[in-house]
């Protein structure tokens, strides 16, 4: 069953900076959630805390499998994290990367064959299996990283700015791929600074200075806040309008 994640009053200081300042947020199973905010908003710190790479100074993260509560160790096999700076090897081909992660995850050959074929077809990289990672376009490189994260069939996928620096066409293809994965019941959490990508999510959490300012379905949230887009929301805050519509 897909994982659901719930964070309560998370606080984390990185040096003098409050990277997380009382973050409480729900990520429902099977949903496509966006963490929306500029650099320094706390998105990366939140993702790393959710997957256990960082320990919060205060607060807690709960993992649920249906009605059952899980520890981090129990939930870990179902979590996949794709960092903004991916650890791929420029001289290894797409095929060699998949084989490497097969061995790393200990995936049996009979399972691996079908999973590999499905992911190559899903990402449309099946015709480029012999191409080294260092010679891939930005969009293809991101898709390779996604395939490596998906090899062990997680139930929750956390992506840190996966389309940063990618051309518009590749960005659209990547989001189409995420929607295909969501339809399979995967919980997906995407951190992005691209305001237009917020409306591609089923649920968004707007972040600034380590806090969640507002959350909801994109259209409902925009209507509630009285703005036409998420860029306008943050611009009005920067101009001193304060919390729009009373959200906090």
* Beta-carbon contacts of residue 185 (< 8 Å; ≥ 6 apart): 2, 29, 30, 155
pLDDT digits (tens, 9 = 90+) for 21-51: 999 999 998 899 999 999 999 999 999 999 9
**Is residue 123 predicted with pLDDT exceeding 60?**
yes
**Is residue 237 predicted with pLDDT exceeding 90?**
no
CB contact at 8 A, 224 and 216? yes
Point out the least confidently predicted range of 158-162, 202-206, 243-247.
243-247
What distance in Å separates the CA atoms of residue 239 and residue 91, rounded to the nearest whole number?
A: 47
214, with CB counted inside 10 A (0-12, 13-18, 19+), is buried
**Is residue 246 predicted with pLDDT exceeding 50?**
no
Q: What would the mean pLDDT of 93-100 be, rounded to a whole number?
A: 96
**Is residue 248 predicted with pLDDT exceeding 50?**
no
**Torsions phi, psi for 71 (to 5 deg):** -80, 165
CATH of the structural domain 3-246, one choice from 3.90.79.10, 3.40.50.300, 3.40.190.10, 3.40.718.10: 3.40.50.300
Q: In what order do the strands lie in the sheet with 58-65?
A: 17-27, 3-14, 58-65, 68-70
Other CB atoms within 10 A of residue 68 CB: 9
What distance in Å separates the CA atoms of residue 125 and residue 47, rounded to the nearest whole number?
A: 27
At 216, list the tokens.
Answer: 């909801």
Give pTM, 2 decimals.
Answer: 0.90
What distance in Å separates the CA atoms of residue 196 and residue 198, rounded to the nearest whole number?
A: 5
202, with CB counted inside 10 A (0-12, 13-18, 19+), is middle
CB contact at 8 A, 2 and 80? no
Domain ranges of the chain: 3-246
**Is residue 108 predicted with pLDDT exceeding 90?**
yes
Q: What is the mean pLDDT of the chain?
A: 91
The more confidently predicted of residues 246 and 50 is 50
CB contact at 8 A, 228 and 222? yes
């Amino acid at each position: 069953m897909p994982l659901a994640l719930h964070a309560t009053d998370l606080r984390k200081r990185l040096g003098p900076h409050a990277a997380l300042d009382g973050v409480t947020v729900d990520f429902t199973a099977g949903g496509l959630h966006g963490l929306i905010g500029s650099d320094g908003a706390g998105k990366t710190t939140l993702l790393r805390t959710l997957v256990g790479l960082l320990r919060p100074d205060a607060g807690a993260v709960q993992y649920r499998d249906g009605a059952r509560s899980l520890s981090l160790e129990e939930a870990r096999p179902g979590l996949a994290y794709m960092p903004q700076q991916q650890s791929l090897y420029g001289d290894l081909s797409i095929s060699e990367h998949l084989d490497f992660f097969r061995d790393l995850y200990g995936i049996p050959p009979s399972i691996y064959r079908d999973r590999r074929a499905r992911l190559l077809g899903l990402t449309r990289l099946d015709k480029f299996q012999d191409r080294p990672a260092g010679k891939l376009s930005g969009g293809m490189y991101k898709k390779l990283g996604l395939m490596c994260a998906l090899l062990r069939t997680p139930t929750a996928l956390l992506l840190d700015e996966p389309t940063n620096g990618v051309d518009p066409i590749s960005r659209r293809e990547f989001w189409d791929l995420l929607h295909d994965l969501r339809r399979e019941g995967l919980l997906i959490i995407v951190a992005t600074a691209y305001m237009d990508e917020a409306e591609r999510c089923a649920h968004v959490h707007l972040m600034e200075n380590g806090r969640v300012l507002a959350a909801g379905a994109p259209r409902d949230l925009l209507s509630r806040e009285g703005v036409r887009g998420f860029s306008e929301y943050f611009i009005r805050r920067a101009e001193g309008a304060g919390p729009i519509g009373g959200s906090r």
